[in-house]
Structure 1
């Protein structure tokens, strides 16, 4: 769970809002004390998650994304995304076979693979008809 010292922003799930979401995350990461490398990793991971929500969650309808940033009780920086789109647990998605040659790899899945590599922990839950994904990074 994200602590009471947190920031929150809700915007429509649209590509034109992606930069605003990322700027919000970077500002909160810096405020939480993340070094530049970890801040960049969180920004890239969040970019992938947010792009997926924008592209697939609402399937032809409109909706919002809420991003909450802060530290948890263990002092980790947390980025939480929440949307009311179609249920989707990215942690259950098939991971690509990165040992296969480029010709043998299936299209897709590499972004979620990279998210898992860039953050220390990911958690997903479906609560109150909302997808909630948390990305954790040690400060």
Structure 2
């Protein structure tokens, strides 16, 4: 699929969602897998926009590229915000999920749910870019 480039603003989330839904449809994903992928990409994109761009008071784009092959749909999402590996937050959130409810902070499980929602999630820092990779198996 053609790459999608959008400004790193919350207004771009609907375009990102439409792109992911279009890729999921082209790959033939069922409703459940489509929902989980859209949720995962939306959560990470929201974090990049909110923390990586807005809180840091910088502007940048998000670049998304969908790749479909015989076995999977892969969404690559890149940004130029400060380095942030969501898998480190995943480990912290995974630890807190087993705490009694009275000891858990309100919220804070978005990255955990995002990463759990796809078959594979990877993070890379390439030069000055973060690359978040979401993979959903087709079979």
Is the TM-score greater than 0.5?
yes
Q: Give distance in 1, aligned partners of 2:32 and 2:63.
A: 24
Q: Give distance in 2, aligned partners of 1:88 and 1:27.
A: 27
Give the ranges of 4+ consecutive aligned residues of structure 1 lying more than 2 Å apart after TM superposition: 106-109
Q: Give distance in 1, aligned partners of 2:111 and 2:80.
A: 20
CA apart distance, 1:108: 4.9
Q: Give distance in 1, aligned partners of 2:98 and 2:122.
A: 26
Q: Please list, as runs of the form range in 1=range in 2, the aligned pairs for 1:1-139 lying within 5 A after superposition.
A: 6-58=1-53, 59-72=56-69, 75-93=71-89, 94-96=92-94, 97-139=96-138
- Does structure 2 retain, via aligned residues, the 8 Å contact 1:7–1:28? no
Q: Give distance in 2, aligned partners of 1:7 and 1:35.
A: 22
Structure 1 spans left out of the alignment, 5+ residues? 1-5
The CA RMSD measured in Å over matched residues stands at: 1.4
Q: Give distance in 2, aligned partners of 1:92 and 1:53.
A: 15
Tell me the TM-score normalized by structure 2: 0.89
Tell me the TM-score normalized by structure 1: 0.89
| Number of positions where the alignment pairs a residue of Structure 1 with one of Structure 2 | 133
Structure 2 spans left out of the alignment, 5+ residues? none
Greater percentage in helix: 2
